[in-house]
Amino acid sequence: MSLITVGTMAFDAIETPFGKVDKIVGGSATYVAYAASNFLQPIHQISIIGNDFPKEEIEALERRGVKLDGVEVVADKKSFFWSGKYHLDMNTRDTLVTDLNVLADFNPIVPDSYQDSEFLMLGNLMPKLQLSVINQMKVRPKLIVMDTMNFWMDIALDDLKEVLKKVDVLLVNDGEARQLSGEFSLVKAARKIMEMGPQFLIIKKGEHGALLFHKHHVFFAPALPLEEVFDPTGAGDTFAGGFIGHLAKTKDISFENMKTAIIVGSALASFCVEKFGPERMKEITKEDIDERIREFVQLVNFDIDLV
Ligand code: AMP
């Protein structure tokens, strides 16, 4: 069972109420790969980097079973750069800079060695490029999951709607669900978005957990109340990597198993926010993840006698 992950590999500059970094490795595909590689390997990565992407970061990904045949290296250009500043609540942020750099001319190619993949994770990226990857697959993957963000809704809404017609699961945050649907109620928003294509919709609500919608069913996964939240960057991508990693490992794409997968995604995301960038994702072990999933079970487990 194998997984393709598509997205950005980037440098980020991040400011949170607890600190600031001017240049740290990030990108949607980086976080997805770190999270998913806890559940299955190899991960088949598709992305683009410039001449400035550190060799040690490439090697760290390779050690995690991330195959980089689909990652284009452009010798005379810089990697994608993103800069964001978090508000005091850490749930909302302003994007300060989005420098596309190498991404401006990116034309993703699915290598032949990736063609048999049954799971496709379209991380946050230009919708046109997400669509190009879907169209290059000779056999449609068993499950296509897509992440996106308000940035693409603002500048490429028509393309985004085209991709939506072809995916099974969409991941967005609550603000993006409202923007995409024009509805304030998340239940109404979910209904409208599912009419656009995806059969399953996950609405992330930061420290307030995540909702999974499918037909008329809805399931809620809390976020673990954490003592320290240092940097939420990449939490959404890490959630996505944990979610699809669990589904690909268990080979089960039922709604019931997706409930478990959003708990797994939430557990992974709870590690990501504990340090700047993907640092914490590099440290955690299977035991750490299992222990955290147990904490989630405790968090929502209760008995009641209804008489
Ligand atoms: P998240 O916090 O999960 O939304 O992901 C943040 C990561 O997404 C950062 O590491 C950025 O490099 C990357 N990113 C930010 N903006 C974009 C964008 N417009 N397209 C693709 N990746 C982005």
Residues 60, 282 contacting (CB under 8 angstroms): yes
Coil, strand, or helix at residue 260? Answer: helix
Per-residue pLDDT, 281: 96
Mean pLDDT over 101-117 rounds to 96
Closest CA to 5 of 57, 60, 44: 44
1 pLDDT band, cuts 50/70/90, is low
Dist CA 179 CA 154 (whole Å): 9
Structure tokens at 113: 């060695």
Please give the single-letter amino acid code of residue 136: Q
The whole-number average pLDDT for the span 213-232 is 93
Q: Is 148 in the pocket of ligand 1 (CB under 6 A)?
A: no
According to DSSP, the residues that pair with 35 across neighbouring strands are: none
- Ligand 1 closest atom vs CA 233: 2
**Domains assigned to the chain:** 3-300 (3.40.1190.20)
Ligand 1 pocket, residue 237 CB under 6 Å: yes
DSSP 222: P
- Tell me, using a 6 A CB cutoff, whether residue 29 lines ligand 1: no
Return the residue whose CA atom lies nearest to atom 19 of ligand 1: 151
Helix (H, G, I), strand (E, B) or coil at 177: helix
For the cut 90, the answer to whether the pLDDT of residue 165 exceeds it is: yes
pLDDT tens digits, residue range 134-152?
999 999 999 999 999 999 9
In Å, what is the CA distance from 177 to each residue of 25, 148, 188, 255, 293? 28, 10, 10, 20, 27
